[in-house]
Structure 1
Amino acid sequence: MSDVDLKSQDLYINRELSLLEFNHRVLNQARDPDTPLLERLKFLCIATTNLDEFFEIRVAGLKQKLEAGSVETGPDGLPPKETLRAISQRARQLVADQYYCFNRELLPALQKAGIRILKRDQWNNGQQAWLKRFFRDEVQPLLSPMGLDPAHPFPRILNKSLNFVLALEGKDAFGRNRAMAVLQAPRSLPRVIQLPRQQAGNKPHTFVFLSSIIHAFADDLFPGMQVSGCYQFRVTRNSDLFVDEEEVDDLLRALEGELPARRYGDEVRLEVADDCPDDMAEDLLVQFGLTQDDLYRVDGPVNLNRLMAVYERVDGTGLKYPSFVPGLPRRLAHNSDIFEVLRKQELLLHHPFESFLPVIDFVRQASADPQVVAVKQTLYRTGPESAIVNALVEAAKSGKEVTVVIELRARFDEADNINLANRLQEAGAHVLYGVVGYKTHAKMILVVRREGRRLRRYVHLGTGNYHPRTARLYTDYGLLSADRTLAEDVHKVFMQLTSLGKVSKLKKIIHSPFTLHKGLMERIDREIEHASSGKTAQLIIKVNSLVEPALIRRLYEASAAGVQIDCIVRGMCSLRPGVKGVSDHIRVRSIVGRFLEHTRVFWFLNGGDDEVFCASADLMERNLFRRVETCFPVQEKTAHRRLSRDLKSYLKDNSQAWALQSDGQYRLLTPGRTKPHTAQAALLDDLAERS
C-alpha cells in the first residue's frame, strides 16, 4: 500500500458523470415491466426532472468555471471542458433512452391499459372538431405569436418553458414577408388536456398534449399566411442564485430581489423537436449563445415531466403501488402524551414506513402545552402549507419563546421559505437565517418544558426535512428523545446558530463544520487499528453522496488494512471499489426503488461494541465544511438494534440494488437461485399498516 498514490486520478470517479449514472438507474425503474405501469410513467417524469436540475445547477456551474478560464480539476483529474464534453455524450444517450421508453414502451402499454395519449394523426373527426373549438375558445385568446424582424427582436424565453419556432410563407397584412416567428405557450395553460368522455369514445382516460393542439391549429394564428413548419423548443437556464452575504444587510430582501432573475439565467441547454430543420436549430443556438454540444433533439414533447398530470388524473387500481398507512409506534398508539412517552424511552421513527405525524404532534403538543416555555427549530424545506409552521405560529401567538432558524437558500424552495419567515415574524417568533457563509442543513427541534421546579428539554433530530409530503416519498430517520446530554448538545448548537461565541464542546453530537469530518476519520482510524491488531473490523456507510476526497482516501487505507467496508450510496459516488491493493474490501451499492433513499447512517463495529449514528449530512465537501450539520448517536438498545437490522436488510437486497464496478459502471443485482429480497418491501411489511 505504501507505494500506491491514493491521490491518483485513476482511483476516483467523476462526480458529475456519477450523478448521471444515478439518473440512468431511475430511468431503469420506468423501463422495468415489474414496476406498476403508472409508476413507470412517474419514474420517467422523475428522471426528466432530475436531468433538468442537473443542467440547471451542475452543468451551469461547469460552464461558469469554463467561462472564467478555470482549469481546476476534481480528484478524477477532468477539467471543466472535458467534463462538459463527457456529460454531453452521456446525457445525449440518456435523453434517447427516455424518449425510447416513452414512445416504444410506455405509450403502447398505456394504450393497452385504456389510457390513451393521442397524437395529431390519431384524432377522429369529432375529436378534431372539439379540439379546434378548445383551441379557439381556451388557447388562442392567450397566445401572442411574434414575427421576427428588426422591430420585433427575439423575445425573452423563460427557463424550461414551452415554445415554438415557426416557419412562415406569404405576406402579412402590411405586405411584409416574414420567414420566422416565435410562439410562447402561456404558463396558465395545462400542458396535458383530458378529452371529455363523449369525445373519447366513452373512454375516460384519453389525453392530448397542448403542444399537439397548438401545432395542429397554428395556421389560425397567421391569417392569409401558411405555416410551413412548427417546432417545439425549450431552453434550460442557470438556476443557481448568487448573493454575496457579506455585502448585503438583509439576506431575505436580497434573495427576494434575486429570485426573478432565476427565470432568465444564462442558457445551458437547448431542446428542439427532432424534425426541426438544421438551419432553424442553428439559428436558435446562435440566439442563445450555445453550441452543438448543447443541442438535444427529442422525439416527443420537450418536457416529459408534464406527464405527471396523467399519473395524477388516473386512479389506476393495479397500475400504481398498493396504498399503505404509515405505522405508529405502539407506545404512541397507547399514549398520546408524547412528553410522557419520551420520559420513559426514546423513539426512533423510520419514514415513510412509519408515520411523520408524531413529529408534527411533538410541535403541536408543545404549542398547546402551558408548561412548555420555549420551542426552537431549524427549517430547510417544509412546504408552503406546513402543519409544523402552523403550530410554531400558534406557539408564538400564545406567548411562548419561539426561535426558528430558516435556511433561505434551500435551492428551489427560496420563495416558500421567505414567505414562511415573514409569516413567523408577524406571529412574534424570532426568525434567523443561520450563519453567514454556512447553510443550516441540520434538522433539529428543541422543546423546553417546565416540570416541577426545573426545566426539561425534549428534542427531535432527523436525517430529512420537516416536510410532510416528502416524508411519504423519502426514507428518513427521526429520533425523539428526552436524553439530557443529547438535549444539552442540541441547545449548544442552537446557541451557535443564534448568537456569538466560541465553538462549544459537545458530548454526543458531532457536527459540521467543526467536528463531523474529524469524528468520522477518527472512527475509521479506530477500525484500522482493530484490523491491524488482528481483530475483525467493519464499517457501513449509508448516504446519498460520497465524494469528499480525504474521507475516500481514508477508506482506501482502511480497506488495505483489512477493514470490511460496505457503502450504500444512492447517488454520486467518487470512490472506486474493487481496485486491487486499494479497495479490495470495499463494496458499493445503490438502492433505487419506490421511495427515494435519503437516510444517512454510519455504523462502526468498534471491536464488538458497535456504534451507530444518523446524520443530516452527506459525505461531500459542502456538507462537511460549509454547512451546519448534525450527526447524532442512536444508543437506546431497541432503536440501535433496529438500525443495525435495517442496514443488513439493505445489504441483502438483491432486487433493487445496483453494484458499482471498479470501471464506474453499475450492475443491477438479481436474485438468481437465492430468495428475492427487497429492503423497502421488507420495511413496509414490518412497519407499515396495509390499507
Structure 2
Amino acid sequence: MSETTYFDRELSWLEFNQRVLNEALDEDVPLLERLKFLAITSSNLDEFFRVRIGALTHLIESDAATISPSGMTPSEQMRAVCERVNKMVDDQYKCYLNELAPQLSAQGIRQLQADELNSAQKMMLKQLFQSEILSVLTPMAVGNGNPFPLLANQIVNACVRLAPRKDSPENVPPLPRYAVIPFGRTLSRFYSLPSESGFAYMHLEDILSLFIHEFFPGEEVEECHAFRLTRNAEVEVEELTPQGLAVNMAEVIVARTEADCLRLEIDDAASDDLIHFLQQEVHVSPEQIYRLPGPVDLGAFMELAGRRGFEHLKYDAWPAVRSPDVSAEELMFDTIAEKDVLLFHPYESFEPVVRLIEEAADDPDVIAIKQTLYRISSRSSIIRALKRAVDNGKHVTVLLELKARFDEERNLKQARELESIGAQVIHGVKGLKTHAKVCIIVRREPGGIQRYVHFGTGNYNESTAKLYSDVSILTCDEDLGADAVAFFNTIAGDSQPPQNYRKLESAPLKLRTTLIEHIAAEAKRAENGQEAKIMVKLNALTDTALIDALYKASQAGVEIFLNIRGICCLKPGVPGLSENIHVVSIVDRFLEHARILYLHQGGDPQLYISSADWMARNLDQRKELLVPVEDPKCRRQLIHIFNVFDQDNVKASVLQPDGSYIKTAIGDAEPFRAQEVLYQESKNASNRIAKKQRTMFEPHHF
C-alpha cells in the first residue's frame, strides 16, 4: 500500500460508527439512549456489510485492478476493514455485556434466563409458546438430502441439531440431523414476563430453546442456537432494458433476497459441528463467520430502548417548535410572499413544509404541483396531499426515485398508487439518481402566475424530519422559481439542461466545477492578503478533486472549518498540506444531515444549502442542487448554526492527522452542547412569539 494524502473511505466510515458506539459507552448519556446508540451501531454495520463489503467483494471476485484513493487494493481494503470490524464487534458486545446489561438489570429492566424463572413465569411462557410461537414458527429439516432453504436477509433463525436416528442401518454411520426455524418478522424478539417490580423479559430464542422439544416430540435435541445471515445488496440495476425501470427495480428487490451471503452471525455457544454445517450450507469462509458472545442482532434492542416507561433513563423530550417566521393563522403562500423562510429541523417543525403542500392541494388558485421524492415515510401526509391535489384537479407531477436503496419497494408502491389516480409520475433519470429536494407550486394570482418553491437538504419524510438535522428554505424568488422549473422539466422531459441557471447549480454537470471555482476564489483572496474563510457542513467528504482544492486553499492561507458527521477522506493538520484545515464531527441525539456552505468572499459572505455531499457518487451519478441563500436574515441564521457547532465541547470529536478522532477537551470552559443550545434557542424564540401574540389585540376591519 502506497502512502497518499487521503484517508481510506471504508475505514473512515468505520471510525464514524465508532463515534456512534462511543455514545453507547458514554456514562453521561441516559441508559436507554446508550442502548439505542448501541442498536444504531449494529444496524449501521448491517448496511455497511451489505453495501460496502458487498462492493469490495464484487471487486475482488472480478479481479479488478483498481487502487483506491487511499492507495489500497480491494484485497488490502478488505483485510483492513475486516480487522477493524472484528474489533468493533468485540467492543459492541463488551459494551452490552459488561456495561449496559448489568446497569439495565440494576434499573429493573432484566433479561431472564431459564434457570431464573419462577413457576408463574414458566406457566405463562408455556402458554405463550403453545398458543403463539408454536403456531407461527415452522421447523424445516435440512441436510442429509434435505435442501437448505433460502433464508431471508438479516432475519434471526434458530439452527437445531438432533441426535442421529437410532434405527439407522448397521453399515451407515449415524449422522446428526439438523433443522432450521426462521423467526420471520411478525414475532417480537422480547417477551415481557410477570414481575413484582420493573420490567422482566426473555428473548424469543431463549423461549424457543426452553420448549424446543415440543417442535420435535420423541426426538433428542442436542442443541439449538440463534444465527443470522447478511446478503450482498450490491445488485446491478439494468436501466436500459425494454421492460422499464419499474420492472427492473422489482427484479433487483427479488435478486437481493437470493444474493450471496457475506456474513454468518451465530451464538458462540454453538458447537463446531453445527457451525461447520451452516458454513457449508450457506457458503461462507471462516473469516465471514462471527461467533457472538451475546444476543444475535443487537439492532433489535431499538425495540427495547423505545418502549414506554422508564422515562428517567431517556433524554428529556425535545418536541419540535413552531418557527417564529411562520404564522399559524396565515396561509403559507402569504408568509412566503412576504419573505424567504429558513427552517432548521428538527428544532423547528417540518409542519410548514407539509402544510404548504396540503394548502396547495386544496387552494383553488393553485394549478400545478411539481415535486421530487426520494425517501418517504410509510404513512406520508405529503403523498396523501398530492393524491388530494389530483382529485381537486391540480396538475401533479412527481419524480419518485425508484433507485433509492432499500426504499425501492415502498417507492414502487407509492408510484403505482399515484399513477393510478392520474398523477404524472417519473421514475427517475436513466443512469442517475435524483437526490435533489425540490417542490414547486404554481399559483394563479391577481398579479399573474407565481411560483412558490421549497428546497431542502433532507427528504420529504415527516418521520425522519423529527430525527435528522436538516435545513429547508421556502421562497417565491422569481429567479429561483424559474431555475427550479427548468431543473424539474429537464428531468421530466429527458431534455438538455440549460447551459446556465440564473442562480442554482446542479450535478452532475457543473456542481463540482462551481464548488472548485468558489474554493479557488477564496484562495486567491488569501494570496492577495485578504481575510479568507470557508466553512462547510456535510455528511461526507470523499471527492478527491474537492479535497485537493481545499488543500490548495489551505496552503494559500484560507481558514477552513469542516463539520463532517461521517466519512472524511481529507487529512487535516498536515504541515505543508492542510495545516489550516480543522475537521470536527458531532454525534448526538439528532443525526446531523444538513449540507451548508459558507464563503467569506471578501466580507460579503455567500451562503448555500445543498442536497449533495461532496462525494463522487453525488457529483457524478446523481441529480443534485446547490441553492444560494440570499435573504440577509436567513444568511445570519446559517452563520449562527456554524458558530454554535464550532463551540461544541461535549459532543464534538476532532479529526487528527493520523485518522483518529479525539473528543474536544472542555478544560475550564463551561460545557457547550450545540444541539441542546440550538433547541433551547428555537424554543425561546417560539415562546417569545407566542407570548407576544397573546398580548396583542387586532381589531376586525370591514
TM-score tier, shorter chain, comes to over 0.9
**Structure 1 residue 173: Cα displacement:** 8.2
**Structure 1 residue 172 displacement after superposition:** 6.7
TM-aligned CA deviation for residue 8 of structure 1: 7.4
Matched, 1:123 2:117: yes
Which of 608, 621, 626 in structure 2 is aligned with 1:626? 621
3-state SS of paired residue (2:281): helix
Offset of residue 82 of structure 1: 1.1
Report the equivalent of 2:49.
Answer: 55
* Structure 2: distance between partners of 1:292 and 1:480: 54
Q: 1:552 maps to what in 2?
A: 547
1:399 counterpart (393, 400, 414): 393
Residue pair 1:42, 1:308 contacting (<8 A) in 2 also: yes
CA distance in 1, matches of 2:273, 2:5: 44
Q: Is the 8 A contact 1:545 1:618 kept in 2?
A: yes
8 Å CA contact 2:205–2:225 kept in 1: the answer is: no
Q: Does 1:192 align with 2:192?
A: no
Q: Secondary structure at the match of 1:659?
A: strand
Give the gaps of 5 or more residues in structure 2. Answer: 688-702
Displacement of 1:276 in angstroms is 2.1
Give 1:497 shift: 0.6
Instruction: Give, as a single letter, the amino acid of the residue that structure 1 aligns with 2:668.
Output: R
Residue pairs, 1:392-471, within 5 angstroms: 392-471=386-465
1:47-446 equivalence runs, <5 A = 47-171=41-165, 177-196=174-193, 199-201=194-196, 203=197, 205-333=199-327, 335-446=329-440
Question: Is this contact kept in 1: 2:38–2:92, CA < 8 A?
Answer: yes
**CA–CA distance in structure 2, aligned partners of residues 63 and 568 of structure 1:** 31
How far apart, CA to CA, are the structure 2 residues paired with 1:234 and 1:350? 39
Rate the CA distance shift 1:145–1:334 in 2: closer, same or farther, 3 A.
closer
Contact kept, 8 Å, 2:354 with 2:382, in 1: the verdict is yes
Paired residue for 2:29? 35
Q: Give the structure 2 partner of residue 655 of structure 1.
A: 650
Matching residue's letter, 1:180: R
d(CA) in 2 for partners of 1:94, 1:24: 7
- CA positional deviation for 1:649: 0.9
Secondary structure of the 2:66 match is coil
TM-score of the superposition, structure 1-length normalised?
0.96
> Is contact 1:379–1:405 with CA below 8 Å preserved after alignment?
yes
Q: Does structure 1 residue 671 correspond to structure 2 residue 666?
A: yes
CA–CA separation in structure 1 for the residues paired with 2:24 and 2:537:
24
Q: Residue type of the partner of 1:542? A: K
Contact map agreement 1:148 1:178 (CA 8 A) in 2: no
Distance in 1 (CA, whole Å) between partners of 2:182 and 2:566 is 34
8 Å Cα contact 1:384/1:420 also seen in 2: no
Contact 1:248-1:254 at 8 Å conserved across structures = no
- 1: distance between equivalents of 2:665 and 2:292? 32
The separation in 1 between residues aligned to 2:143 and 2:396, in whole angstroms, is: 58
Maintained 8 Å contact 2:158/2:183 = no
Deviations 1:166-216 (A, max 9, x none): 3322427888955131322331442333334xx323x35211100111122
SS in 2 for 1:420: helix
- TM-score between both structures, scaled by the size of structure 2: 0.94
Distance 1:374 1:628, change over 3 A: same
Of the structure 1 ranges 13-22 and 226-235, higher mean CA displacement relative to structure 2 is found in: 226-235
1:46 CA displacement:
0.7
Moved more, 179-188 or 522-531: 179-188
CA contact (8 A) 2:648 2:673 kept: yes
Displacement after TM superposition at 1:514 (Å): 1.3
3-state SS of the aligned residue for 1:332? Answer: coil
**Does 2:526 correspond to 1:531?**
yes
Larger CA deviation: 106-115 vs 334-343: 334-343
1:571 corresponds to which residue? 566
Moved more, 642-651 or 8-17: 8-17
Task: Give the conservation status (yes or no) of the 8 Å contact 2:156–2:296.
Answer: yes
Deviations for 1:608-658, whole angstroms, at most 9, x for unmatched residues? 111110000000001001100011011111110010011111111111011
Q: Conserved in 2, the CA contact under 8 Å of 1:170 and 1:225?
A: no
2:12 alignment counterpart: 18
Give the aligned partner of residue 697 of structure 2.
Answer: none
Residue 518 of structure 1: aligned partner: 513
Deviation (angstroms), 1:326? 1.4
CA distance in 2, matches of 1:150, 1:330: 69
Question: For residue 554 of structure 1, what is the amino acid of its counterpart?
Answer: A
Aligned residues of 2:238 and 2:248 also touching (Cα < 8 A): no
Q: CA deviation at 1:146?
A: 3.1
Match of 1:501 among 495, 498, 510: 495
- Closer/same/farther in 2, CA of residues 268 and 414 from structure 1, 3 Å limit: same
Percent of aligned positions that are identical? 38
Q: What's the Cα RMSD here? A: 1.9
Distance 2:91 2:32 in 1: 18
Determine the structure 2 residue equivalent to 1:486.
480
Note closer, same or farther for the CA distance 1:178–1:283 as it changes in structure 2 (3 Å cut): closer
How many equivalent pairs are there?
A: 682
Distance change in 2, residues 1:223/1:626 (3 Å) = same
Q: Secondary structure at the match of 2:4?
A: helix
Partner of 1:3: none
Give the partner amino acid of 1:432.
I
Q: Quick one: which amino acid aligns to residue 139 of structure 2?
A: P
Give the AA of the match of 1:419.
K
Worse-superposed segment, 596-605 or 8-17: 8-17
**Letter paired with 1:356:** F
* Counterpart AA for 1:79: T
Q: Give structure 1 stretches of 5+ with no counterpart.
A: 1-6
Does the Cα contact within 8 Å between 2:154 and 2:229 map onto a contact in 1? yes
Preserved contact between residue 542 and residue 570 of structure 2 (Cα < 8 Å): yes
Partners of 2:660 and 2:83 in 1: CA distance = 15
Give the match's secondary structure for 1:378. Answer: strand
Indicate the larger mover: 408-417 or 681-690.
Answer: 681-690
SS in 1 for 2:269: coil
Distance 1:225 1:679, change over 3 A: same
Contact 1:192 1:207 in 2 (8 A): no
Q: Show CA shifts across 1:362-391 (max 9, x none).
A: 101111111111100000011121111111
Larger displacement relative to structure 2 (621-630 or 134-143): 134-143
Per-residue deviation, 1:30? 1.1
SS across alignment from 1:640: helix
AA partner of residue 543 (structure 1): L
CA-to-partner distance for each residue in 1:579-616, whole Å, 9 max, x for gaps?
Answer: 11001111111100010000001111111111110000
Note if contact 1:161-1:185 (Cα within 8 Å) is conserved in structure 2. yes
In 1, are the aligned partners of 2:2 and 2:72 still within 8 Å (CA)? no
How is 1:603-622 mapped onto 2 (pairs within 5 angstroms)? 603-622=598-617
